[in-house]
Amino acid sequence: MDFSDTQEEACFRQEVRSWLQANGTTLRSTSPDELYTEADIAFCRQWQKKKAEAGYAHIVWPKEYGGMGGNWMQAAIFDQEERRLPRPFNYFSVGIGQCLPSIMEFGSEEQKQLIPQTLRGDLIWCQLFSEPNAGVDLAAVRSKAVREGDNWVISGQKVWTSGAQVADYGILIARTDPDLPKHRGLTYFLIDMTLPGISVQPIKQISGHSEFNEVFLDAIVVADSCRLGEVNQGWQVAMHALTAERFKRLNTRMPSMMSVMQLSQECELDGEKAIEKDSVRQYLANCLVNKCAQEHFMSRMLTVLAQGKDLGSEASILKLMSCQLNQELSAYAMEMFEESGAVVDAETHPLMQELFDAYLWAPGLRIAGGADEILMNIIGERTLGLPSEPRLDKGKAFKDL
């Protein structure tokens, strides 16, 4: 049980710090209004490229693919240090976090060439998984891929696709055999988003912004070399991508715990500072305990990775618990302004905009990449070994459902 850096880790941390000091001075956070604007993307590409040149774009993967050939502990150290700086939006996280791991695991050498390009910031990715009738029940996708010679012709509609409006590539699952049970008739593809037949329609979200999209696929022609994994084995590949997505500390777009505590020292309630009120202290202490637990759970998971073992489905705990906590905490922080908390401007408080963004972002995160209920099913069934509910679709051909 050693929580402090080993000598090598301390050395690496020092290197990272010096590098960030030399290179990170111009960093700024992306505001919701700047999201997906050309200027912001260009700025973030530059930062990504800088990281890639230093090997920091992917600490663990081998140098030949644009990584650093390091380990997960070093990756965590880089993450910790980078988080001390203002945070630009990471347009590459879908690609690096969800799309590339499955390419690394299942891809051909040709497909793996996309890895260094992505790490350099040249390619932005999106995930074409969900459909209007296949969200929580992802294996129910209806988009159809039909083999024609060396190509596949794919038609259908995808939805909730973050970043599709700017993505260069997408990962997609489509049905290749409706005669098989639904999980077994799917195949996974890497899609060039500039192909004819792809159209992207932004979805207006509850915040008024449009990060998600609908994507329509009208008989797009994809070479068989873009298939990832075997035909009808797409579910396994997709699960690999989703597991990567769920092991995340989801504190993005959430004011830090310290800034909320700072706020409680500034706001006045009934003529005293909020933090002097016992109820506020008790509430914040409870949040603090949970934040502390999540950080240390993360450290335990990192230790598992560092020991060369795979993470089980229990890593989903982090997404499950952190989204709910941030939803609650952002709401509570707004209450420290009493009725003024209903007004989102700097006159209420400079942090107000960020708090409201967090409050509106949290419900989306609780649904995306495995809704709370799905994560609890996964923990219940895979980790605790509880029986699944009786299902009406088990063993039946997809076309008969």
Partner 1 sequence: MNFDFDEDQYFIKNDARRFLSDRCSMDMVRTYLDSDATEISPLWQEIVELGWLGVAIPEEYGGLGMGYLELCVIAEELGRVVAPVPFSSSIYLAAEAIVQYGSEEQKQQYLPAIASGELIGTMAWSEKGAWSESSVSLSNQDGSDAVVFDNGFITGVKRPVSHGMLADIAVVTARNTEGETVLVLVELSENTLQRKPLISVDPSQRNAQLSFDRHPALLLGKCEDAQEALDNVLNRAAILYAFEQVGGAQRCQELAVEYVKERKTFSRQVGSYQAVKHKLARMYAQNELARSNAYYGAWALASGSEELPLAAAAARISATNCFEFAAREGLHLHGGMGYTWEVDCHLYLKRSRDLALKVGSSRCWNEKLIATALACMNDTEKVPTWLANS
| Cβ nearer to partner 1, comparing 4 with 194 | 4
191/99 Cα distance (integer angstroms): 11
Which residue stretches of 188-316 are H helix?
234-246, 257-266, 278-306
CB of 284 vs partner 1, minimal distance in Å: 6
φ and ψ of 196, to 5 deg:
-60, 145
Which CB atom, from 93 or from 262, has the smaller least distance to partner 1? 262
Residue 271 CB, nearest approach to partner 1 (Å): 20
* Of the residues 285, 342, 343, 401, which one makes contact with partner 1 according to CB under 8 A: 285
**Out of 85, 195, 203, 376, the residue judged to bind partner 1 by CB under 8 A:** 376
Residues in the chain: 401
Residue 320 binds to partner 1 (criterion: CB under 8 A): yes
Q: Which of 1, 39, 346, 392 binds partner 1 (CB under 8 A)?
A: 1
Q: Among all chains, which residue has been given the structure tokens 């009738």?
A: 133
Among 282, 310, 395, 400, which residue interacts with partner 1 (rule: CB under 8 A)?
Answer: 282
Handedness of CA 23, 26, 30, 34 (dihedral sign): negative
Tell which positions 29-88 bind partner 1, by CB under 8 A. 73, 76, 80, 83-84
Phi-psi region of 316 (alpha: psi -120 to 50; beta: other; left: phi over 0): alpha
Nearer to partner 1, 166 or 288 (CB): 288
Helices 72-82, 7-23: inter-axial angle, 10-degree rounding: 40
Q: Which of residues 80-139 bind partner 1 (CB under 8 A)?
A: 80, 83-84
**Interface positions, 248-277, toward partner 1 (CB under 8 A):** 249, 251, 256-258, 261-262, 265, 275
Residue 333 makes contact with partner 1 by CB under 8 A? no
* Total residues binding partner 1 (CB under 8 A): 62
Q: How far is the CB of 247 from partner 1 (least distance, A)?
A: 13
Binding piece for partner 1, criterion CB under 8 A, among 25-33, 183-191, 236-244, 292-300: 292-300
Handedness of CA 30, 240, 132, 362 (dihedral sign): negative
Distance separating alpha carbons of residues 200 and 213, to the nearest angstrom: 6
Phi, psi of 360 (to 5 degrees): -80, -20
Cα distance between residue 4 and residue 2, in whole Å: 6
Write down the least CB distance from residue 286 to partner 1, Å: 7
DSSP, residue by residue, 16-64: HHHHHHHH-TT--PPPGGGTT-HHHHHHHHHHHHHHHHTTTT-SSS-GG
Identify the three-state secondary structure at position 370. Answer: coil
Interface with partner 1 (CB under 8 A), residue from 30, 162, 294, 330: 294
319 lies in the site for partner 1, by CB under 8 A: no
Residue 6 lies near partner 1 (rule: CB under 8 A) = yes
Under 8 Å between Cβ of 69 and 62: yes
From the list 373, 394, 399, 401, which residue makes contact with partner 1 (rule: CB under 8 A)?
373
The encoded tokens of residue 236 equal: 């396994």
- Structure-token pair, residue 288: 């603090």
How far apart CA 153 and CA 155 sit, in angstroms, is: 7
Return the SS3 of 343. Answer: coil
| Tokens 């941030």 found at | 326
224 vs 266, beta carbon nearer partner 1: 266
Q: How far is the CB of 113 from partner 1 (least distance, A)?
A: 34
Binding characters for partner 1, 377-396, by CB under 8 A (x = yes): x-xxx-xxxxxxxx------
**Among the listed residues 29, 108, 205, 286, the single contact to partner 1 using CB under 8 A:** 286
Parallel, antiparallel or unpaired: strands 125-128 and 169-175:
parallel
Q: Which stretch binds partner 1 (CB under 8 A): 48-56, 97-105, 179-187, 315-323?
A: 315-323
Shortest Å, Cβ 394 to partner 1: 13
* List of residues contacting partner 1 (CB under 8 A): 1-6, 9, 73, 76, 80, 83-84, 249, 251, 256-258, 261-262, 265, 275, 278, 281-282, 284-286, 288-297, 299-300, 302-303, 306-307, 314, 317, 320-321, 373, 375-377, 379-381, 383-390
